[in-house]
């Protein structure tokens, strides 16, 4: 399978050829049994906003030499904070994982202006611009995986991906082409991106108001969709979690993500994209147990 993965990784818009880059790491905080670090490195893909071209990676490491299994968390797009992701991060930490989360393009520190809401600029006004922002997210994630895999206290063979909403879309694309992660959990994700963008209750009205058509989206997004890598994804294990009444990620697109990962397990929960918050009372524990099982990690 590895030759297929490498072949996919070395062609197309998600191509990332590892090369030396400068990364600055500093300890930002500590808590009982944990050390927290901020890592900055240049984005592999440059936008027109300087602030957006520095990637921020946040890493939580358990005390000890390791190496520890690691989960890279990719967040939702436009939330003003990490309230949702923190529920999962805390559970992963409690269960003994090294945990990293990535600021996606135009989020938090990467906003072009402090007055601009986090993530808002991601929704570009052109099909090509939106595809560029997604591609930058994926390549930033690949560089983060590259950095994490070289850390002496992280077990390179036990790195997983966890993404929510936009993070699930980006994560599933990255998982399609990158040989580093050995497992992925994608919450509220989908595939068939050009159709999803056009039909989603979040993005559909926006792109239609700009006169962007479905065919224009299809051409701009070629090579970015997990469905484009279905053959090499055939045996990859993953957990896909979707909700029945989701209007942001339509059920048809959620099912297409299962088509992109034939070996994945997909579960369907009641409620919709936003009301799925009610599942936070139990689902972080469920996801952490699933990651532990597939990454060969004994729960604490």
pLDDT at 9: 43
The pair of three-digit structure tokens given for residue 177, joined into one six-digit string: 């082409």
Give yes or no for residue 247 having a pLDDT over 70.
yes
SS3 254: helix
Reported confidence tier of residue 41, pLDDT bands at 50, 70, 90 = very high
Domain ranges across the chain:
2-294
Reported confidence tier of residue 149, pLDDT bands at 50, 70, 90 = very high
CB 297 within 8 A of CB 69: yes
Reported confidence tier of residue 5, pLDDT bands at 50, 70, 90 = very low
**Minimal CA–CA distance to 253: which of 196, 174, 199, 197?**
196
pLDDT at 119: 79
pLDDT at 198: 93
Task: Give the mean pLDDT of 137-155.
Answer: 98
Give yes or no for residue 2 having a pLDDT over 70.
no
Burial class (CB in 10 A: 0-12, 13-18, 19+), 270: exposed
pLDDT at 11: 64
Contacts of 31 (CB under 8 A, 6+ apart): none
Give yes or no for residue 7 having a pLDDT over 50.
no
**What CATH number matches the domain at 2-294, 3.40.50.1820, 3.40.190.10, 3.90.1010.10, 3.40.50.620?**
3.40.50.1820
Mean pLDDT value across the chain:
94
- From residue 131, alpha-carbon distances to 106, 161, 222 in Å are 14, 21, 9
* pTM to 2 decimal places: 0.94
Of 146-155, 202-211, 285-294, minimum mean pLDDT range: 202-211
The pair of three-digit structure tokens given for residue 157, joined into one six-digit string: 């063979």
Give yes or no for residue 268 having a pLDDT over 60.
yes
**Minimal CA–CA distance to 59: which of 75, 83, 80, 35?**
35
């Amino acid at each position: 399978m590895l030759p297929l993965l490498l072949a996919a990784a070395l062609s197309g818009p998600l191509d990332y050829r590892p090369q030396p880059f400068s990364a600055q790491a500093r300890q930002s905080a500590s808590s009982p049994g944990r050390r927290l670090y901020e890592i900055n490195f240049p984005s592999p893909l440059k936008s027109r906003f300087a602030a957006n071209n520095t990637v921020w990676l946040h890493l939580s490491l358990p005390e000890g030499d390791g190496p520890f299994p690691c989960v890279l968390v990719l967040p939702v797009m436009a939330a003003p904070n990490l309230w949702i992701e923190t529920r999962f991060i805390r559970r992963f930490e409690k269960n003994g994982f090294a945990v990293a989360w990535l600021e996606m393009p135009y989020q938090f520190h990467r906003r072009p202006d402090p007055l601009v809401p986090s993530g808002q600029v991601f929704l570009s006004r052109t099909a090509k611009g939106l595809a560029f922002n997604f591609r930058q997210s994926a390549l930033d994630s690949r560089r983060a995986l590259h950095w994490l895999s070289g850390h002496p206290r992280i077990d390179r063979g036990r790195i997983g991906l966890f993404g929510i909403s936009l993070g699930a879309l980006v994560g599933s694309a990255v998982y399609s082409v990158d040989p580093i992660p050995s497992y992925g959990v994608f919450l509220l994700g989908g595939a068939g991106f050009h159709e999803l963008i056009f039909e989603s209750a979040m993005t559909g009205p926006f792109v239609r108001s700009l006169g962007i058509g479905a065919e224009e989206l299809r051409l701009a997004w070629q090579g970015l969709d997990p469905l484009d890598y279905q053959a090499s994804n055939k045996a990859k294990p993953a957990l896909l979690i979707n909700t029945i009444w989701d209007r942001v990620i339509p059920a048809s697109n959620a099912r297409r993500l299962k088509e992109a990962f034939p070996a994945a397990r997909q579960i369907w929960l009641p409620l919709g994209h936003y009301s799925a918050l009610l599942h936070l009372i139990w689902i972080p524990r469920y996801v952490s147990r699933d990651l532990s099982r597939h990454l060969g990690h004994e729960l604490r």
